[in-house]
Amino acid sequence: MSNSDKREVWQRGPVEGIPALLQPVAHALLQAREEVGELMIDFPEAQLWQKPAGVASVGFHLQHLSGVLDRLFTYAKGELLSEEQLQYLLQEGKGTDLTVQSLLENFNTQVDKSLQQLSSIHEQTLTEYRGVGRSQLPSTVIGLLVHSAEHTMRHVGQLQVTSRIVKAAV
């Protein structure tokens, strides 16, 4: 289905190639991509790093959306973060040389990578243990994937509010 379909992604039916138990994760990620894309239409570049009332900037949310998906999906594979991923984490919110377009492209690419990974996961592995971070906090494959969807949508909500406040102040 196309983005012109006004129904939410979950109402459009299964995402091809994604296991049944992972459909809600795919739906949330695709919904996030659509909403973020719409929110950023004509967003003023000069306002990307503004922090109204001290809240996180639109730029931070866009960076974080990509970074958190990358990190959580890495943990879901049973891997530790690379040095590059750790450096990206340290730079979230500090990328003042980045543009709305480059941040959107990065997020869209990360959603595509996440969907590709979802398509290769066997449902039998969903309850397998996965350690998170240096402390190896306990989780499971499905726990990490569901959290990635939930966390993404949480930041999309924050991005909606912040972007509207910033646009209204211009």
pLDDT tens digits for 101-146?
A: 999 999 999 999 999 999 999 999 999 999 999 899 999 999 999 9
From CA 141, how far away is CA 78, in angstroms rounded?
8
CA angle (111, 113, 126) in 5-degree steps: 95
From CA 152, how far away is CA 71, in angstroms rounded?
12
Length of the chain: 170
Structural domains in the chain, sorted by start:
19-38+52-169 (1.20.120.450)
From CA 166, how far away is CA 111, in angstroms rounded?
25
For the full predicted model, state whether its pTM sits above 0.85. yes
Distance of CA 128 to the CA centre of its chain: 23
Backbone angles phi and psi of 141, in degrees to 5: -55, -50
Task: Please report which confidence band the pLDDT of residue 1 belongs to, taking 50, 70 and 90 as the band edges.
Answer: very low
pLDDT tens digits for 63-86?
A: 999 999 999 999 999 999 999 999
In this predicted structure, the answer to whether residue 6 has a pLDDT above a threshold of 90 is no
Q: The tokens 């503004």 sit on which residue?
A: 50
